[in-house]
Structure 1
């Protein structure tokens, strides 16, 4: 189960970076990041979100279920819901730099720069984080310091 976990987390990371997520301050984005505007979720996406949420209630400690919910929550703009699911993943296995990076990015996008810096700093110094993850964390840390 844990062997699939980083691969799923990396999938979430890639998905969230390409989604339309509303940002409060386009100037605070790291270099190369494009400001986007959130789109209103359609009825189908809302139904998928509700079904995924119900699944998290049935399986509150299942990493795949939590990841699926986090992905849908990000797609519809429920960043707080995604944060909640990702935090639960860290309760299952706290040494997941991919999840910590995603949490840092989500907190950054919410404007909670102190929380973002905490998670991003943990990624930067993690022995399990790849150079790509560390570089991405560093980009957001620099942007968070300016905010």
Structure 2
């Protein structure tokens, strides 16, 4: 899904470039920089780790990244107070190496809550959520928002 979105966006950008008569930037990132615009994409950690064309396109075309799933609760905290930062850290490190911002999202979302929270009482769920949010915000304190 993320790859199709990137391909469609690049195709649309190519049409815009050919339709203009004045010299235009050669990449989405360059065009965004000319207008002081943030242009980003959601990235999946699998292709980011293993597909050269994906990595190259993401680095070249975008100045902002958001982890597709690597920073969501079910991935980051698969069991109570046991955190897996590897996917999110990979996105943050890739962005840092390529001069890109990182935007986080969905600290808590009903669609990707870990299975262990499903049977928590309201009295137990609120502290679990607070703990999760606090730990994620502390770990990713350099993420833009």
TM-score scaled by length of structure 1: 0.31
Q: Work out which structure has the larger RCO, using CA pairs closer than 8 Å and 6 or more positions apart in sequence.
A: 1
Q: Greater share of strand residues, 1 or 2?
A: 2
Q: Under a length normalisation based on structure 2, what TM-score does the superposition of the two structures give?
A: 0.31
**Rg: which structure is higher?**
2
